[in-house]
Amino acid sequence: MPFGLGGLASLLTLGIAVTGCGSDSTQSTSPPSQPSQPTVDTVSLRTLANGKGRLIGSAVDRGFGYSGSDGVTFKTTLAREFNMLTPENDMKHERIHPGRDVYRFEPADSLVTFADANGMKVRGHTLIWHQQLAAWLTSGSWTTDETMALLVDHVTKVVSHYRGRVIEWDVVNEALGDNGSLRPSFWFDRIGRDYVELAFRTARAADSTVALFYNDYNIEGISPKSDSLYALVRDFQARGVPISGIGLESHFQLGAVPSTLGANIARFAALGLKVHITELDVRMTTPATAAQLQTQAQNYRDVVATCLQYPACDVVVMWGFTDKESWVPSAFPGWGAALILDATYQAKPAYTALHDLLK
């Protein structure tokens, strides 16, 4: 998440869990030596998840063929272990819509093509967010009607482009502040609270079958923020606003998985919604110790085991899978080792815990 580092440091000092949706930079972190990664003929996480009728996925930053995560080991591991893929940044506004009349689909297309070729599903992320907006948009002086038209144009063109190839979209991302009210943002300041509804209705008009999600952080457990979202969703349902599910980002600090995760999933599921874990990682101070890695393994297991209890929670996506390609160290200096494989693609205890759970 592209917050200023000073702001991040202040929030960490206050003990507030700050999470988000990735940034453009990555930084390698090398935790202590781990047991060797299971060989390729070992049953993969993907195969085990398929056996349970679930999807297990990873975010991928930077389209294949452009820069970054395009090595043979990365691609082979991604395709072997996961049956779902989420573009970490390539579908965000500044990447996919760099000019008012310019759409740059190629990087995201390369990820969708990879998913198609490897029998993976795709989560679209994200259509409307208050960050990573193109400069042409945020620097313009737009009226309310013009801003609404710009939102409709963006959502319509992106959703239409991927119609039939993306199975679910994070339509609106992180619209709520931690107090549960709609946060000030480019969209809110110019359109008002109706921008959220407008985005969902526009996405449904562009694709009649794709699942439409609201995605956010600090809504994983029962809290004022998740209570506010619950009220928002019930209002949407009462008025016929199309919404299919809730995305629980699940960027956790070590040992901080909320005890009310299951109860929260249950109450949204009772509304007939899907509830997906969309950006799971568990960060720790580095260098990691063996004890920290065991706690991390238990955290991963607890989250996925809780999800498995509910038919509505049939998707778990991690925000990457190797510590070599993680947003955490650049966003939270001194923190890292957040994923299930280390920076050399070796299995960590968290990988083993998930493998044993799914098996």
Catalytic residues: 174, 279
Neighbours of 6 (CB within 10 A): 8
Q: What angle do CA 22, 59, 125 make, to 5 degrees?
A: 70
Q: Which are the contacts of 250, defined by CB distance < 8 A and separation ≥ 6? A: 220, 277, 278, 279, 280, 281, 303
The encoded tokens of residue 121 equal 């599903």
- Cα separation, 289 vs 137, whole angstroms: 45
Q: Which residues pair with 277 in a beta bridge?
A: 248, 316
Mapping DSSP to helix (H, G, I), strand (E, B) and coil, where does residue 156 land? helix
Nearest to 17 by CA among 195, 221, 163: 221
Separation CA 222–CA 207 (nearest Å): 32
The one-letter code for the residue type at 156 is T
Nearest to 58 by CA among 80, 28, 35, 39: 80
CA distances from 149 to 100, 104, 185, 359 (A): 12, 19, 17, 49
